C-alpha cells in the first residue's frame, strides 16, 4: 500500500567501548512509538560483557511489522572498532546512506559499495563541546531529524530515561540531542523515501512496546502461573528477571535453583502442591530437563517449560537465534511420553501461546514445552495492543476428599482428578514408575497399556480448536512454517500477493499433538508448499514428513542461524519456482 504516509525505514546504529549505540537504538524505537509508528529493534553484540562492539538494528514503519527487512536504509557508525563483525547482518544497498564520524577513520571495506552516500558528521566533537554530552545522543538527534520525528517528544523521553542519573547528565543528553537534531549536515541529506509524518498513524487504538520474553512472561501470568524455578541461561534470563518481581507481587514466587535439574524438579514439586508452575531455559538447559519432563508426563503433573531457542548444538551460538530445539522438544523424552509442544509465532503470539500452553498443561495434566527463540525473545516491537480469544479450557481437575480415591483412574477423556495435598482422605503417592489406577507401582502388562492409552488418549481426543495454526491468505501456493519464521513468511506473502502471486501462510502453533486432518483440509487445492525454517538439518520438514501427508509439490527453505531469514529470500524462492 503506497501513500505519502507509508514509510518503512531500517536504521542500524553501531558503536563500541561504551559508546551507547544500544541506548540510542532503544530511544529511537521509543521515539518512533511516540510519533505514531510501529517498529522493531534487534541487537547484536561482540563477546565482551561491557565495552564491546554493539549494533542496534531498528525498523520503523507506519504499518505493523514483525520481522526485520531485507536490508538497511541507513547505517550510523559512532566508530568502526570491530564493526566488521556486523557486516553480514547489516546488509546495505547501493542507495543506502552511511553516517560516520570522520574522527573514527576510514569506512571499512566491508561497508563500502559503489554509490553509497557517506555523510561525515563530527559527532564526537559536537558532543565534547557539551558538558556531559555524548556522541550517541548527537546520533539520536541526527536520526530523529532525518526520520522526521517531533523533537519535543524526544526531550520528554530523554528526561524519562536519564532523569535518575542526575541533572547534568539529563541536560547534557538533551543538549547533545539538539545538537544532532539541528545539525545542518543532516538537513542537507537527500532522501526520496517517504518519512513518518509527525504524529500520524494509520491505526487507532493502543500500541504496545515489549519483547518476546516479556510476552511469554505475561502469557504465563495470565494463564495462572504463580511459581517458577529457574537457572539463568542466555537468552531466557531476562524472561525470568521480568517474571520474578511480578510473581511475588501476585503472592507467588520465583526461586533461583542451583541448576536446571533442580529447576524442573522444583516446578513439578510445586505443581504437585497445586500451584501452576513453570520454568524457562534454552537448548542446553532443556536437554538437562528431559528426564524430569518425563516424570511430569508419567506422574501426570502439570508443568510448563518455556524454551527460548538459540544457535546450537551444544553451547552453539548463545546470542543468536535458530529453530533447532524442535527435535528435542518433540522426541527428547525417553519412553513413550506424549506431551504438548507449542511454538510462538511472533511477539504478540508469545503472550497467546504461553497462556494457552499453561491452560492446556493444567487441564491435561502434562508437560507443555513452549518454543520461543532469541529472535522473538530479545527483539523489541511496537505493535497494536495484542488481542486474542482463547477457547474455554477447564482448569485443573481437582479431586474431592474421598475414600478409595484413584489418582490414575481410567476415564473416557483420559483425564483423572488430582488430589491436592491438604485434601483429607485422598492421599496418594505420585510416581514415575508405571502404576495401577491407585498409583501403586506395577509391572503388569495390562496396567502399562491402560496407563499408556490414558496418557495418549487425553491429548489425542482433546479438541484444541482453531489455534492449532495461524492461517492467512489463500492461493495455489502455501508457505508452511512455524515459530519466528512465521512473521517473515507473512511479510513475504504480502509482497508476493501485491505482485499478483497469491500465497497462503500456514504457521503451526501446536506442534504436538499433530493435527494431520486439519492440515489436510487447509492444503486442499494447494499445488505447491514451501516449508520455511531456520535449521540446518531441516528439523521441521522431517517432523512434517513424520506426522503429516503433504501431497503438493514441496520445497524446503532451511537455513541455519545466526542471520535471520529475510522476506526477500522467501519471495525469491517462490518467484523462481517454475
Partner 1 sequence: MDQAAKPIALTPKDFKSALKPVWCPGCGDFAVLNAITKALAFMGLPRENVALISGIGCSSRIAAYTSVYGFHGVHGRALALASGLKAARPDLTVLVAGGDGDGLSIGGNHFIHACRRNMDLTYIIMDNEVYGMTKGQASPTTAPDWTSSKLTPRGSGIRPFQPAGLALTAGASFIARGFTGDPNGLAKILVAAMEHKGFSFVQALSPCPTFRPEQMQWKLHVSAFDEETSSDPVEAAQRIQADDGMSTGIIFRNEYPVFRPGTGVDRGMGKIESEFTI
| Cβ nearer to partner 1, comparing 8 with 260 | 260
| Cβ nearer to partner 1, comparing 39 with 235 | 39
Contacts with 375 (C-beta within 8 Å, 6 or more apart), sequence order = 42, 212, 321, 484, 564
Number of amino acids touching partner 1 (CB under 8 A): 64
58 binds partner 1 (CB under 8 A): no
| Backbone φ and ψ of 120, nearest 5° | -100, 120
Q: Which residue has the cell 542461524?
A: 561
| Cβ nearer to partner 1, comparing 54 with 220 | 220
Min dist. Cβ of residue 274 to partner 1 (A): 7
266 binds partner 1 (CB under 8 A): yes
DSSP element (H, E) containing 413: none
Of 391, 394, 441, 476, the one binding partner 1 (CB under 8 A) is: 441
Q: Kindly calculate the radius of gyration of the chain based on its CA atoms and give it in whole angstroms.
A: 26
Min dist. Cβ of residue 444 to partner 1 (A): 15
191 binds partner 1 (CB under 8 A): no
Of 131, 425, 444, 546, the one binding partner 1 (CB under 8 A) is: 425
Of 168, 259, 400, 502, the one binding partner 1 (CB under 8 A) is: 259
423 binds partner 1 (CB under 8 A): yes
DSSP element (H, E) containing 74: strand 72-77
DSSP alpha helices (H): ranges in 251-282? 260-272
| Cβ nearer to partner 1, comparing 384 with 497 | 384
Min dist. Cβ of residue 286 to partner 1 (A): 16
- The stretch among 18-26, 46-54, 241-249, 565-573 that binds partner 1 (CB under 8 A) is 241-249
Q: For the segment 455-474, give every residue that binds partner 1 (CB under 8 A).
A: none
- The stretch among 121-129, 223-231, 368-376, 466-474 that binds partner 1 (CB under 8 A) is 223-231
253 binds partner 1 (CB under 8 A): yes
Of 24, 34, 237, 338, the one binding partner 1 (CB under 8 A) is: 34
Min dist. Cβ of residue 392 to partner 1 (A): 21
Q: Grid coordinates standing for 444? A: 503388569
Q: Which residue has the cell 489436510?
A: 520
27 binds partner 1 (CB under 8 A): no
| Backbone φ and ψ of 310, nearest 5° | -140, 175
- DSSP state letters, 154-217: HHHHHHHHHGGG-HHHHHHHHHHHHHHHT-HHHHT----S--PPTT--S--S-EEEEEHHHHHH
Of 71, 151, 232, 274, the one binding partner 1 (CB under 8 A) is: 274
Cis peptide before 313 (omega within 30 of 0): yes
Nearest alpha-carbon partner for 156 in 170, 139, 138: 170
With 0-12 / 13-18 / 19 or more C-beta atoms within 10 angstroms meaning exposed / middle / buried, residue 70 is middle
Of 432, 456, 552, 559, the one binding partner 1 (CB under 8 A) is: 432
Of 48, 160, 315, 427, the one binding partner 1 (CB under 8 A) is: 427
Q: Are 98 and 146 in contact (CB under 8 A)?
A: no
398 binds partner 1 (CB under 8 A): no
Per the document, the length of the chain is 578
448 binds partner 1 (CB under 8 A): no
The SS3 call for residue 370 is: strand
314 binds partner 1 (CB under 8 A): no
Cα–Cα distance for residue pair 431/275, rounded to 1 Å: 18
- The stretch among 162-170, 240-248, 519-527, 561-569 that binds partner 1 (CB under 8 A) is 240-248
Min dist. Cβ of residue 92 to partner 1 (A): 30
Q: Are 483 and 321 in contact (CB under 8 A)?
A: no
| Cβ nearer to partner 1, comparing 28 with 78 | 28
Cα–Cα distance for residue pair 398/417, rounded to 1 Å: 5
CA dihedral 292, 296, 298, 302 (to 10 degrees): -170
Q: Grid coordinates standing for 520? A: 489436510
The SS3 call for residue 10 is: strand
Nearest alpha-carbon partner for 112 in 131, 127, 98, 126: 98
390 binds partner 1 (CB under 8 A): no
399 binds partner 1 (CB under 8 A): no
Nearest alpha-carbon partner for 354 in 384, 329, 390: 390
Min dist. Cβ of residue 382 to partner 1 (A): 7
- The stretch among 57-65, 161-169, 274-282, 506-514 that binds partner 1 (CB under 8 A) is 274-282
227 binds partner 1 (CB under 8 A): yes
- The stretch among 94-102, 111-119, 272-280, 471-479 that binds partner 1 (CB under 8 A) is 272-280
447 binds partner 1 (CB under 8 A): no
- The stretch among 244-252, 369-377, 484-492, 566-574 that binds partner 1 (CB under 8 A) is 244-252
Min dist. Cβ of residue 573 to partner 1 (A): 35
Q: For the segment 288-307, give every residue that binds partner 1 (CB under 8 A).
A: 291-292, 295, 299
Q: Are 148 and 195 in contact (CB under 8 A)?
A: yes
Q: Are 51 and 18 in contact (CB under 8 A)?
A: yes
Q: Grid coordinates standing for 241? A: 528477571
Of 268, 361, 519, 557, the one binding partner 1 (CB under 8 A) is: 268
Q: Which residues bind partner 1 (CB under 8 A)?
A: 33-34, 206-210, 214, 218, 221, 226-227, 229, 246-255, 257-259, 261-263, 265-275, 277, 291-292, 295, 299, 382, 385, 401, 419, 421-433, 440-441
Amino acid at each position: 500500500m503506497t501513500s505519502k504516509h507509508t514509510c518503512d525505514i531500517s536504521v542500524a546504529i553501531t558503536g563500541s567501548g561504551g559508546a551507547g549505540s544500544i541506548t540510542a537504538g532503544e530511544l529511537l524505537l521509543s521515539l518512533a512509538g511516540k510519533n505514531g509508528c510501529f517498529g522493531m529493534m534487534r541487537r547484536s553484540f561482540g563477546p565482551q560483557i561491557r565495552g564491546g562492539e554493539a549494533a542496534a538494528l531498528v525498523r520503523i514503519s507506519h504499518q505493523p511489522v514483525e520481522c526485520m527487512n531485507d536490508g538497511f536504509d541507513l547505517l550510523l557508525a559512532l566508530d568502526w572498532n570491530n564493526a566488521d563483525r556486523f557486516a553480514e547482518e547489516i546488509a546495505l544497498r547501493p542507495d543506502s546512506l552511511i553516517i560516520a564520524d570522520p574522527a573514527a577513520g576510514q569506512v571499512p571495506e566491508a561497508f563500502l559499495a559503489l554509490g553509497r552516500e557517506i555523510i561525515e558528521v563530527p559527532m564526537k566533537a559536537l558532543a565534547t563541546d557539551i558538558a556531559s554530552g555524548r556522541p550517541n545522543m548527537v546520533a539520536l538527534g541526527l536520526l530523529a531529524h532525518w526520520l522526521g520525528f517531533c523533537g519535543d517528544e524526544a526531550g520528554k523521553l530523554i528526561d524519562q530515561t536519564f532523569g535518575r542519573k542526575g541533572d547534568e547528565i539529563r541536560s547534557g543528553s538533551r543538549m547533545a540531542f539538539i545538537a544532532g537534531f539541528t545539525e545542518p549536515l543532516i538537513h542537507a541529506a537527500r532522501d526520496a523515501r517517504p518519512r513518518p509524518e509527525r504524529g500520524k498513524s494509520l491505526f487507532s487504538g493502543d500500541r504496545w512496546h515489549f519483547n518476546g520474553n516479556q510476552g511469554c512472561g505475561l502469557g504465563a501470568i495470565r494463564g495462572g502461573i504463580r511459581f517458577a524455578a529457574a537457572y539463568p541461561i542466555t537468552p531466557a534470563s531476562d524472561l525470568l528477571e521480568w517474571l520474578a518481581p511480578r510473581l511475588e507481587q501476585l503472592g507467588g514466587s520465583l526461586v533461583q535453583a542451583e541448576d536446571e535439574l533442580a529447576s524442573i524438579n522444583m516446578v513439578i514439586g510445586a505443581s504437585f502442591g497445586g500451584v501452576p508452575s513453570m520454568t524457562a531455559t534454552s537448548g542446553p538447559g532443556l536437554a538437562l530437563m528431559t528426564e524430569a519432563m518425563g516424570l511430569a508426563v508419567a506422574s501426570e503433573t502439570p508443568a510448563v517449560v518455556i524454551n527460548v531457542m538459540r544457535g546450537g548444538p551444544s553451547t552453539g551460538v548463545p546470542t543468536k537465534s535458530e529453530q533447532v530445539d524442535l527435535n528435542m522438544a518433540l522426541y527428547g523424552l525417553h519412553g513413550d511420553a506424549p506431551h504438548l509442544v507449542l511454538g510462538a509465532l511472533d511477539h504478540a503470539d508469545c503472550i497467546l501461546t504461553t497462556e494457552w500452553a499453561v491452560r492446556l498443561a493444567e487441564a491435561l495434566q502434562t508437560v507443555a514445552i513452549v518454543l520461543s527463540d532469541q529472535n522473538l525473545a530479545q527483539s523489541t516491537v511496537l505493535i497494536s495492543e495484542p488481542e486474542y480469544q482463547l477457547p474455554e479450557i477447564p482448569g485443573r481437575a481437582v479431586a474431592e476428599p474421598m475414600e478409595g480415591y484413584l489418582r490414575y483412574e481410567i476415564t473416557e477423556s483420559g483425564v483423572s482428578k488430582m488430589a491436592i495435598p491438604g485434601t483429607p482422605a485422598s492421599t496418594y503417592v505420585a510416581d514415575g514408575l508405571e502404576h495401577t489406577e491407585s498409583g501403586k507401582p506395577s509391572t503388569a502388562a495390562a496396567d502399562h497399556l491402560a496407563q499408556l492409552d490414558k496418557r495418549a488418549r487425553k491429548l489425542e481426543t482433546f479438541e484444541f480448536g482453531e489455534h492449532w495454526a495461524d492461517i492467512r491468505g489463500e492461493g495455489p501456493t502455501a508457505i508452511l512454517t512455524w515459530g519466528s519464521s512465521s512473521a517473515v513468511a507473512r511479510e513475504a506473502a504480502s509482497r508476493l500477493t501485491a505482485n499478483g502471486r497469491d500465497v497462503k501462510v500456514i504457521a503451526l502453533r501446536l506442534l504436538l499433538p499433530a493435527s494431520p486432518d486439519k492440515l489436510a483440509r487447509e492444503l486442499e487445492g494447494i499445488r505447491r508448499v514451501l516449508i520455511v525454517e531456520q535449521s540446518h538439518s531441516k528439523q521441521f520438514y522431517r517432523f512434517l514428513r513424520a506426522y503429516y501427508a503433504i501431497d503438493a509439490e514441496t520445497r524446503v527453505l532451511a537455513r541455519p542461524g545466526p542471520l535471520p531469514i529475510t522476506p526477500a529470500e522467501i519471495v525469491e524462492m517462490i518467484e523462481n519456482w517454475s
